[in-house]
Amino acid sequence: MNSALVTAAELAELLEGPTPPVLLDVRWQLSAAKANGEPAFDGRAEYERGHLPGAVHVDLDRELAGPPGEGGRHPLPDLGVLAAALRRAGVSAGRPVVAYDGGIGWGAARAWWLLRWAGHQDVRVLDGGLPAWRGPLAEGPEPAPEEGDFQPEPGAMPVVDAAGAAELAREGLLLDARAGERYRGEVEPVDPVGGHIPGAVSAPTSLNVGPDGRFRPLGELAARYAELGAAKEGARVGVYCGSGVSAAQEVLALELVGIRAALYPGSWSEWVADPSRPVAKG
Q: Is 241 assigned a catalytic role?
A: yes
User: Hey, which residues does 201 pair with through a beta bridge?
Assistant: 175
φ, ψ for residue 238, nearest 5 deg: -135, 160
* Integer Cα distance of 122 and 107 in angstroms: 17
5-6/123-126 β-pairing: parallel
- Using CB atoms within 10 A of its CB, is residue 13 exposed (0-12), middle (13-18) or buried (19+)? exposed
What's the Cα-to-Cα distance from 173 to each of 42, 110, 176, rounded to whole Å?
35, 21, 10
User: Which residue type occupies 200?
Assistant: A
φ, ψ for residue 242, nearest 5 deg: -80, -45
Residues 58, 76, 203, 241: which is the catalytic one?
241
3-class SS at 3? coil
φ, ψ for residue 69, nearest 5 deg: 175, -145
* Integer Cα distance of 239 and 260 in angstroms: 11
φ, ψ for residue 22, nearest 5 deg: -70, 135
- Residue positions annotated with a catalytic role: 241
